[in-house]
Structure 1
Amino acid sequence: MDKLNAMRAFNAVVLEGSFTKAAGRLDMSPQLISKYIGQLEESLKVRLLNRTTRRVHLTEAGQAYFERCQQIVQDIDDMENDLSNLQTQVSGTLRVSAPMSFGIHHLSEPIARFQDQYPEMKVELLLTDRKVDLLDEGIDVALRIGHLKSSTLVAKKIVPIRLVLCASHAYWRRHGEPQDLTDLSKLNYLRFTYSDLRTLLLDWSSSMSSQDFNSDFSSNNGDVIVNLAIQGRGYAIQPTFLTGAAIEANELQVLEKFAIESLGLYALYSHREFLASKVRHFIDFLSDYYGDTPYWDRYCNSQRK
């Protein structure tokens, strides 16, 4: 027996006063309504309704059952409506994970604008360069930079992330601009801990290894690496969302001759089906905010004119 539908049928019969009207209210046949009532009475081992040719009347047991049954059905309807609103309304708390440097430089303004547009939204932002477990840590959406490997998570690309090889003008003048990988290997590489030259340089030679490159500094933070590059300590391979301002201010010079594969900023979430409205709207908002060519890459267009 479908207990919930049987309870709905019973409520409708009591409120409408007849099986026929209850059937019309619930868009069921009178026969199905009668079947549900019979199943309820059989299950409860009591008579709930006294039936006449014109009207139905509640028994004492039926009256007691109706009072509780009506509240239960109403509570269930309210719960389903609340859950449905979570899927259709942009409200509640959104927990977002993002890389440290990207979040510091490029998430404050879009999050502020997102909350201006959706004032019922609360945002909790976790900045970390480790890969969080969305389910274990209760994260709604994780922003990650790189090439995504196969995963049980659903991913949507938000914006391309361009990498450049750059150093200060003083560094290039002092050491000369490298013409090939052999020249480059003799200079000082400010190494980002989480990346490997072999995965960055497209013209990498199979005869070379990471150990062939000089490096007296490494860090797991791109901001520190960019600042050291500005101070002339060596060259860096960093994303334009960190180097763009320094390049535009003529503090760093890019060497375009070295081909570097672009990465991507991806939004990861757990399920494609029944995606919460707050997650879908946040991802779409970020995509529109950054656009196909993000604002930190505009210096490239001006340089090439």
Structure 2
Amino acid sequence: MSQFEWSLTFKAIVDNQSLVKAADQIGVNASAVSKQLTKLEESLGVQLLNRTTRRIALTEAGKGFYEKVTRLEYEWRSTLDEASNLAADVKGIIRIAAPQPLFSRFLMPVLADFQRQYPEISYELLHHQIDQLPSIHADLSICREIEDYDSNSIVMVPFYSYHNQLFASAEYVEKHSSLNEIAQLRHQRCLVYSDKKYPLEWVFERQTVALNRVLYVNSAEIMISAAKNSLGIVYLPKEILLEELDNKTLVHVLPELQSPRHRACVYYPKADFVPKKVRALIDFLKKNRLMSS
């Protein structure tokens, strides 16, 4: 076997966090996987993994090697796609990574329309937190704009422009009918994502409001449910609340207020060959005016 094959075995071990599961994926026994890893480390002269009976951890050398092998595997798959003309037809699996609310509340209708146009396309949908994106395991990652992504290995394309606005249940608005100006927000119950890295404030185009009464939530779906049940006000894009706004389980609060413009973006690995299926999906998004040109 070649070093490249050993390297793919190493990647399978890391992806599965288990020699046994990696062996099942590759179709060999665990002993063979262990021997391939040993041969790879001996040929490179470095230790790539720290192994105990309970966990597998990348060494510093292993982290860099894993990222490079992942990119090489992507380019290899892309090259095979091109060489075999995996399309004349657009077909195959597209791996897409995104936060859960973006999948369930925004992307699903788009992906369904794309699959109707290209019925031989299928998806592997990978739910990731924003701090795990862009994912090196995905053909496409979709999330809000990230400032510090690796532009040497990742391509970024703006996907959608949006503003955050304020929403609450009709019951909450009726109970707080005196709420009619921005300064009063600091005395309202505000539903805030529980990532403590962010300050307790909501930023609008002309003013920033410090929040005093907050309910921390670590899930957008829970946050929306809490707002529907009159537990407070949310600060979210209306695009993920279309159903709630249509059935009036949520209504605008101070509708003249909105955040500065934010952008959601598509990220994909920089490679000499971008698979036709990936290009087709990006073109589909542009054609349907879901992406900036």
* Bucket of the pairwise TM-score, normalised by the shorter protein: 0.5 to 0.7
- TM-score of the pair, normalised by structure 1: 0.59
- Give, in whole Å, the separation in 1 of the partners of 2:223 and 2:181: 22
- Give, in whole Å, the separation in 1 of the partners of 2:83 and 2:95: 18
- Give, in whole Å, the separation in 2 of the partners of 1:279 and 1:122: 12
Deviation at 1:97, TM superposition (A): 0.5
Corresponding residue of 2:83: 83
Corresponding residue of 1:204: 207
- Give, in whole Å, the separation in 2 of the partners of 1:245 and 1:80: 42
Residues 7-26 of structure 1 aligned to structure 2 (within 5 Å):
none
Corresponding residue of 2:168: 167
Q: Which runs of 5+ in 1 are unaligned?
A: 1-78, 294-305
Query: Is this contact kept in 2: 1:159–1:287, CA < 8 A?
Result: no
- Give, in whole Å, the separation in 1 of the partners of 2:273 and 2:82: 14
Q: Secondary structure at the match of 2:260?
A: coil
Deviation at 1:185, TM superposition (A): 0.2
Aligned alpha-carbon RMSD (Å)? 3.0
Query: Is this contact kept in 2: 1:168–1:231, CA < 8 A?
Result: yes
Q: Please tell me whether residue 248 in structure 1 is matched to residue 246 in structure 2.
A: yes
List per-residue Cα deviations over 1:186-244 (Å, max 9, x = no partner): 01001123465546333335xx64xx4211x2212222212221221111101212322
Corresponding residue of 2:281: 282
Residues 204-283 of structure 1 aligned to structure 2 (within 5 Å):
204-205=207-208, 209=210, 212-215=211-214, 217-254=215-252, 255-271=254-270, 273-283=272-282
Greater percentage in helix: 1
Q: Secondary structure at the match of 1:107?
A: helix
List per-residue Cα deviations over 1:30-61 (Å, max 9, x = no partner): xxxxxxxxxxxxxxxxxxxxxxxxxxxxxxxx
Deviation at 1:292, TM superposition (A): 7.2
The percentage of aligned residue pairs carrying the same residue is 21
Q: Which runs of 5+ in 2 are unaligned?
A: 1-78
CA distance 1:227–1:167, change in 2 (3 Å) = same
Matched residue pairs, number?
A: 208
Matched residue type, 1:204: Q
CA distance 1:268–1:176, change in 2 (3 Å) = same
- Give, in whole Å, the separation in 2 of the partners of 1:178 and 1:231: 18
Deviation at 1:140, TM superposition (A): 0.7
- Give, in whole Å, the separation in 1 of the partners of 2:134 and 2:224: 29
Corresponding residue of 2:102: 102
Q: Please tell me whether residue 127 in structure 1 is matched to residue 115 in structure 2.
A: no
Mark the structure with the bigger radius of gyration. 1
Residues 174-213 of structure 1 aligned to structure 2 (within 5 Å):
174-194=175-195, 196=199, 198=201, 200-205=203-208, 209=210, 212-213=211-212
List per-residue Cα deviations over 1:49-105 (Å, max 9, x = no partner): xxxxxxxxxxxxxxxxxxxxxxxxxxxxxx989626248752232111111012123
- Give, in whole Å, the separation in 2 of the partners of 1:166 and 1:258: 11
Deviation at 1:129, TM superposition (A): 2.3
CA distance 1:111–1:183, change in 2 (3 Å) = same
- Give, in whole Å, the separation in 1 of the partners of 2:112 and 2:249: 30
- Give, in whole Å, the separation in 1 of the partners of 2:236 and 2:133: 23
